[in-house]
Amino acid sequence: MGLQKDEGREQKERELGKKVFFILTVIFVGSFLFKEIQDRYTKSKISSLNFGKSEIKDFLVVGKGRNRFIVRGLKLIDEGSQMYIDQFLLSYIKEGDVMNITSKKAIYSKKKNNLLLAGNVSFISKDINIETPVVSIDLKKKIAENDNDVMIKIKDFTTYGKNLFIDLKNDILQLEKVKSIVRGS
C-alpha cells in the first residue's frame, strides 16, 4: 500500500511537472511572439516618421579621406530639402594646403547638391584671398561662380573684376572686367 501511494505521488508530480513545463513553454513562446510583434510595429512606426525642421547650434563636421574638410557654423537649420547655416566656415585641406571659405550665411540644396554662400564671402589660403558678396558652388562639379564684384589679393597685387569662375577640381580661376593694382615694395 505504501508503494502505491509513492507511485501515485510520483505520477501526480510528473503530471504537475508536465503542466508546469507546458505553462512555461506557452509563456516563453508568447513573450517571444509578443516581442517580435512589438519590434515589427516599432520599426513600421519609425519608418513612417517624417521629421520637420531641426536645428543644431555651434556645430562641427569633420570629413576624412584624401581631401579632408572641416565645416563649422553657429547654427544649422535642416528643413528637409535645404539646410541653412549661419556663420559658415569650411576648411578644405588638399595635399597639405588649407583653403578656408567663410560667409555670413550658407544655403545647401540637397537635391541640386549646391551650396550658396552669401554675405562677406571669402576664400582664404596661404597665397590668395578672394572676397565677394555672393557665390554659388556646385559640389558635384566642384565649380564656384558668381556674377558679382570680386576682389582678389595676392601679396602686393590686387585685382578687381566680375563674373568669378573657379574650377576647384582643376585649380582654374577666371575673372572678367578686370582691373589690377600692383604695389611695389
Q: For residues 169-175, give the mean pLDDT.
A: 85
Pick 39 or 98 by higher pLDDT: 98
Report which of 151, 160, 161 is spatially closest to residue 123, judged by C-alpha positions. Answer: 151
| pLDDT tens, residue by residue, 85-140 | 999 988 888 777 888 899 999 999 888 988 999 999 998 888 889 999 999 988 88
SS (H, E, C) 53-100: CEEEEEEEEEECCCEEEEEEEEEEEECCCEEEEEEEEEEEEECCEEEE
| pLDDT tens, residue by residue, 7-27 | 767 777 777 667 666 676 666
Question: What local confidence, expressed as pLDDT, does residue 103 receive?
Answer: 93
Task: Report whether 86 contacts 71 (CB < 8 A).
Answer: no
Radius of gyration of the chain (CA): 34
Pick 6 or 88 by higher pLDDT: 88
Read off the pLDDT band of 153 (50, 70, 90).
very high
- In this structure, the number of other CB atoms found within 10 A of the CB of residue 56 comes to 15
The cell numbers describing 82, all together, are: 535645404
Secondary structure (3-state) at 183 = coil
Read off the pLDDT band of 6 (50, 70, 90).
low
Q: Is the dihedral of CA 120, 142, 92, 94 positive or negative?
A: negative
Question: What local confidence, expressed as pLDDT, does residue 47 receive?
Answer: 60
